[in-house]
């Protein structure tokens, strides 16, 4: 019955979601080309907020638990599990004071209104996962960019999303590069729950009435860890131990 009900509601959601992306594409272009990157960034945050309101059409709720006072004048490396594209816009909105920038596959850099424009012009790292000669220098440059500007790098070390919420093993290469190129960063583990339920039936219809939960764990001083593999293991354990099954 719920799945049947989700068809018309998902149709309405998709219309509003698509319109939001289309409307914000020229807004982003105008902000970037007329006023510059800082105003463009504000337009991106307005987009993320609007996408959250679109998700409310599906009965989606968001909880962002962040009890920590994280310095906004420090580079961050936000490490989180990955369950769906619906991880991205709430995380961007709630962490906006830290200027979050994402590592994304290069294919997303074209063809998607608003999203592709932001990835190309908003400071993201677009990587070809099948081509280390492209991806490794791109990650190095990204880490240097984060360190210099005191922004937040967001990385999903699983490499791809979990379709049922079950976490995948972390791939460590991207983290190792960021640790090396942004040595003054705070590492911020985040656990995401229930985002996968938005796509429990596939791309259509959407899941209804989901409660997406984001838990920010205690930030870690990267510089105090000499053994980076030990740090990665600790982060992975923290994130996975808070995933709801």
pLDDT in tens, 210-233: 999 999 999 999 988 888 899 999
Query: What is the helix, strand, coil percentage profile of the chain, to 5?
Result: 50, 15, 30
Span 150-173, average pLDDT: 88
- Residues found in the chain: 245
pLDDT in tens, 190-205: 999 999 999 999 889 9
Sign of the C-alpha dihedral computed for residues 58, 61, 64 and 65 taken in this order? negative
pLDDT at position 47 is 98
Question: Where do the structural domains in the chain lie, given as residue ranges?
Answer: 2-241
Alpha helix locations (H) across 31-66?
37-56
pLDDT at position 122 is 95
How many angstroms separate the CA atoms of 208 and 163, rounded?
16
Contacts of 129 (CB under 8 A, 6+ apart): 105, 135, 159
DSSP-derived 3-state class of residue 194: coil
CA dist 65 → 37, 58, 125, 202 (Å): 29, 22, 27, 28
Structure tokens at 89: 């816009």
Asked if pLDDT for residue 101 goes beyond 80, the answer is: yes
Most confident of 117-131, 141-155, 165-179: 141-155
Confidence of residue 164 (pLDDT cuts 50, 70, 90): confident
Span 135-150, average pLDDT: 95
How many angstroms separate the CA atoms of 195 and 211, rounded?
8
Sign of the C-alpha dihedral computed for residues 165, 99, 170 and 191 taken in this order? negative
CA dist 111 → 54, 116, 151, 159 (Å): 21, 6, 26, 21
pLDDT in tens, 167-192: 888 988 999 999 999 999 999 999 99
Q: CATH 2.40.100.10: does it fit domain 2-241?
A: no
């Amino acid at each position: 019955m719920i799945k049947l009900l989700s068809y018309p509601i998902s149709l309405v959601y998709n219309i509003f979601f698509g319109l939001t992306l289309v409307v914000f594409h020229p807004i982003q272009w105008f902000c970037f080309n007329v006023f510059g990157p800082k105003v463009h960034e504000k337009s991106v945050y307005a987009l993320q907020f609007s996408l959250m309101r679109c998700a409310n059409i599906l009965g989606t709720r968001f909880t962002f638990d962040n009890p920590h006072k994280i310095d906004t004048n420090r580079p961050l490396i936000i490490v989180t599990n990955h369950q769906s594209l619906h991880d991205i816009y709430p995380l961007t909105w709630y962490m906006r004071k830290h200027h979050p920038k994402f590592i994304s596959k290069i294919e997303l850099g074209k063809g998607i209104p608003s999203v592709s424009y932001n990835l190309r012009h908003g400071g993201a790292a677009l990587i070809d996962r099948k081509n280390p000669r492209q991806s490794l220098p791109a990650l190095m440059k990204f880490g240097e960019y984060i360190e210099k500007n005191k922004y937040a790098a967001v990385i999903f070390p699983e490499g791809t999303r979990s379709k049922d919420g079950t976490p995948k093993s972390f791939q460590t290469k991207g983290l190792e590069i960021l640790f090396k190129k942004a040595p003054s960063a705070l590492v911020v583990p985040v656990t995401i729950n229930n985002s996968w339920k938005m796509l429990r039936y596939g791309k259509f219809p959407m899941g209804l009435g989901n409660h997406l939960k984001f838990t920010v764990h205690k930030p870690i001083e990267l510089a105090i860890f000499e053994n980076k593999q030990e740090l990665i293991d600790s982060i992975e354990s923290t994130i996975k131990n808070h995933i709801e099954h």
